[in-house]
Structure 1
């Protein structure tokens, strides 16, 4: 079997969609599947080509635009990008005519180039929806109607959470397959029994710094606890500052409330193991995660995860069993959960063990690839049956 993946535009290879693609591709190659990946830019440098893996870079524009950007200029830019993408499609089509993939797998909502090429090659295509767009990134598709038409013609559509599934089943009026993301267990596992063993309680929030990730809620929660007399806590925010105005707002709050000794902001580090080793609690404060990869990584690190009760995060955390949930957007609710964790350390150790066990049993890369391969076989079989008829 030969599968062609279409990666979406990304400024970093550390976003969830790209990391999930990496996990799937590496496991497929291990199992003897031939894989081709079409990248729209050269920012992703995590794949090593081999006999079974080929990578092609064909420059194209993302058709995701901020929700608020509308009007003549925005529309003109969109039309220009569509024109340039047409030439990119022709170049990619030429490549794939030679490579002859059996199936195309589109990794994320964007321009729809992969779907158009699949139709021209007369091969089935699967579309993997990994983002809400509006709710998690504040984005929309420039040519949404056209893309949705292509989505509806897909042989199968994969949703990475029930929240994603429910949203797009309503918008598309068709069934979607639910396949949660898989995580390489060995990469994120931290073997330790020292959580909540020290007087100092370390709290980590990892992820790009912007308002949709909710770092200010975490900062305010820690500030509230410090005001109440908790001097044995510290918070680390680890992530690239994608929203400079939001970062400044956070910094101003820290200075205004004299929280410098309790809160540290550092640039994103590719390897988070050291930070996770020194912290006891991992926070997920996002307004609405499509899945919540950081939630799973935190559980695998044998940390207590405290997350917002929204989107994929609420699906992954069984409150008081595998982690703690707080009211999204309510920093007092978050502070109360942190305080509860500090006051009930032994109970938290039990929750940490339960969270780790749940991830190992349900969110391994092997499990997700098993499901994807089953779907590939079903789609190819169905397409063959139609051709025979």
Structure 2
């Protein structure tokens, strides 16, 4: 098949969708398919000029030429268009596909309404996000098929007015996190003295709940000696640093900034547990990576996270914002190895969330639309 993927971001832009699409394309190519990436930021096959998005400067909005995309789709005899973001890139991909007469599938990766409070500004910004969400829904409802990463998120979308949404889990490159890697250089790089390490990796925004994690970690430190590593960048950075200083735990909390992709498996192997205290994640790819690497996955019981973690069986869940419960989990994890839990978690990730299984699921959608 010849597949065109449309996304506002692509590798090496540091976000989950960009990284997923990199692995997704690589696996499609390995299976013998042809893949064309259209993007506004990253090393795509077709990268369009773009302006920084005023609400979140990490992202760009492309200046699109739909006629050019239409020409590319015809010249390369593309079979199917798959849009991964609903903004200028996704819209242009949809319009061009309709003009050429080829099927369009759309994947909803993000709940923008839940993320809206991360946009620090006036109520007008939130109203703008609501308009974007409304536009997004109209675009996806015109696609031939719509998918979302989990059943929980799919059901939520349909309650919000989306037509039938097919739950289709994303995947990760499991082999990358199974390699026998040394993390000695990471210990030296970040001057880590404690043997017990906890890790957060992701955007530093309010919806991620990192402030809850820091407060829970403060409570846990009364019973354990540990280090909390916080990797990532975002608009909430200064407030998180100030919170850490105010709680007087700055010696035990290290902010890593942007983490290179090659350092992620090392950090995962080093860490006893990876925590995602978010209320907005529709899947939680970082938890899948943790489970693949042998680290314990801990997540808030929100969004798509409870579909990834079975509490007490493949990881641990706590109610979003429940600092006391999270602190108890951190202490409990420190005292036990949980070898069987980690083995179950790895088997589940390998079976359900490998990038190979993910691509096979999406190719099933593609073939269904092409019949």
TM-score (norm 2): 0.85
Shift of 1:290: 0.9
Q: 1:65 to 1:148 in 2, by over 3 A?
A: farther
Q: What's 1:219 paired with? A: 214
2:107 pairs with 1:117: no
Partner SS for 2:160 = helix
Partner SS for 1:181 = coil
Bigger radius of gyration, 1 or 2?
A: 1
2:81 aligns with one of 72, 97, 104: 104
Single out whichever of 269-278 and 308-317 deviates more from structure 2.
269-278
Q: Distance in 2 between matches of 1:57 and 1:324?
A: 40
Q: What's 2:176 paired with? A: 187
Shift of 1:380: 0.6
Listed as ranges, the matches of 1:168-179 within 5 Å are 168-179=157-168
Shift of 1:2: 1.3
Q: Distance in 2 between matches of 1:278 and 1:330?
A: 26
Q: What's 1:257 paired with? A: 247
Which whole-Å deviations, capped at 9, do the CAs of 1:151-185 have from their partners, x for residues lacking one?
Answer: 22211111111232012222335211111011111
Q: What's 1:71 paired with? A: none
2:367 pairs with 1:377: yes
- Determine if contact 2:272/2:334 at 8 Å carries over to the other structure: no
Shift of 1:319: 0.3
Q: Distance in 1 between matches of 2:112 and 2:52?
A: 13
- Determine if contact 1:238/1:268 at 8 Å carries over to the other structure: yes
2:83 pairs with 1:88: no
Shift of 1:137: 5.2
Q: 1:137 to 1:272 in 2, by over 3 A?
A: farther
- Determine if contact 1:109/1:130 at 8 Å carries over to the other structure: no
Q: Distance in 2 between matches of 1:106 and 1:301?
A: 30
2:333 pairs with 1:353: no
Q: Distance in 2 between matches of 1:248 and 1:147?
A: 31
Q: 1:145 to 1:287 in 2, by over 3 A?
A: closer
Which whole-Å deviations, capped at 9, do the CAs of 1:126-166 have from their partners, x for residues lacking one?
Answer: 00111111113557364555543332221111111123201
Give the number of equivalent residue pairs: 343
Q: 1:63 to 1:127 in 2, by over 3 A?
A: farther
- Determine if contact 2:230/2:254 at 8 Å carries over to the other structure: yes
2:13 pairs with 1:4: no
Shift of 1:235: 0.7
1:205 aligns with one of 200, 206, 211: 200
Q: What's 1:385 paired with? A: none
- Determine if contact 1:207/1:238 at 8 Å carries over to the other structure: yes
Pairwise CA RMSD: 2.6
Listed as ranges, the matches of 1:1-389 within 5 Å are 1-9=1-9, 13-41=13-41, 44-45=42-43, 55-60=45-50, 85=63, 88-111=65-88, 112-136=91-115, 138=117, 140=129, 142=131, 144-190=133-179, 200-226=195-221, 228-230=222-224, 232-240=225-233, 242-243=234-235, 246-270=236-260, 271-343=263-335, 345-346=336-337, 348-381=338-371
Q: Distance in 1 between matches of 2:130 and 2:40?
A: 17
Q: Distance in 1 between matches of 2:293 and 2:133?
A: 39
Shift of 1:338: 1.0
Partner SS for 1:22 = helix
Shift of 1:251: 1.8
Q: Distance in 1 between matches of 2:229 and 2:132?
A: 39
- Determine if contact 1:152/1:174 at 8 Å carries over to the other structure: yes
- Gaps of at least 5 residues in structure 1 are 48-54, 67-80, 193-197, 382-389
Q: What's 1:52 paired with? A: none
Q: Distance in 2 between matches of 1:199 and 1:146?
A: 49
- Determine if contact 1:110/1:141 at 8 Å carries over to the other structure: no
